[in-house]
Amino acid sequence: MDKHYGQIVELVIRKKGISISELARSSNINRKCVYNWFNQKYLKPEVIHRIGGIIKHDFSVEFPELFTPEDFMAEQSEHETDMISDKDQAENKLWKDKYIVLLEHYNQLLLKHIKGGY
């Protein structure tokens, strides 16, 4: 049986509930390009791998002739280390804001000292 790569990729994306707009935005392409991928019988392995990384899916299951599970494990671990949880982002913002306030106070003290305020 001859596989239709685009249809298989589309099926996986739709089963995962990922919107076409979201995929296009994450891929830095327009939606029309995504739909063109779906219509292609053969997609480049690089495109499939890129999509797999974005949607966090191991396409070695659907395309064992193109990929091994290790191809996607390295990609997923990179994404996991790059991703910062919302809680961590909020905490980082809190410390950044405190640091900025501290710098502003320091600058005010320096200005007073320069002007002879001490």
The number of helix segments (H) and strand segments (E) in the chain equals 6, 0
Q: How many domains does the chain have?
A: 2
pLDDT of residue 75: 52
Together in a domain, 78 and 94:
no
pLDDT of residue 82: 46
pLDDT of residue 48: 95
Domain residues for 63?
5-83
Together in a domain, 66 and 106:
no
pLDDT of residue 102: 92
- What's 24's domain CATH number? 1.10.260
pLDDT of residue 91: 81
pLDDT of residue 31: 93
Low-confidence ranges of the chain (pLDDT < 70): 1, 74-86, 117-118
